[in-house]
Amino acid sequence: MNKINVQGLNLEVTRAIEQYVNKKLSRAIKHQPEFIASIRVNLSYENRTNTNLVELIIFLHGGKTLRNQTRSEDMYASVDIACASIERQLRKLKEKNIDLKRYRSLEDKLSTLPDLGVAIAV
């Protein structure tokens, strides 16, 4: 399993919220674990606006980073929204990689075909 680091800024991270974050993230990344190197989750509470902030940062192999920041009055709702957004980003990345592989394999197949323009001219 990937390394998930949950940190609290201006609040104490309880065992319940940490387990909830781990459960939601494992569900969100279960189809694309090969891309992920590590995950950092920053949870914080803002006193002046009475909102909870969830920041998800996913470090991918190859140096890319996916990031999402969500604010809500409920910490659990913020985690849900952030995990859903990260899941969409990962799905988009996976589909993009699949499309590139298909394009490259099609390009290879087309390069092995004989040149029909030369064959007709002869």
- Structure tokens given for 15: 């065992």
Are 35 and 54 in contact by the 8 Å Cβ rule? The answer is no
CATH of the domain at 51: 3.30.160.100
Which of the 8 DSSP states describes residue 62? Answer: T
CA atoms within 13 A on the CB side of 69: 4
pLDDT tens-digit series, residues 57-77 = 999 888 889 999 999 999 999
Answering whether pTM is above 0.85, one says no
Domain that holds residue 117: 3-121
11: three-class secondary structure by DSSP: coil
The domain tally of the chain equals 1
pLDDT tens-digit series, residues 21-70 = 999 998 888 877 787 899 999 999 988 999 999 999 999 888 889 999 99
Residues recorded for the chain: 122
pLDDT tens-digit series, residues 83-95 = 999 999 888 888 8
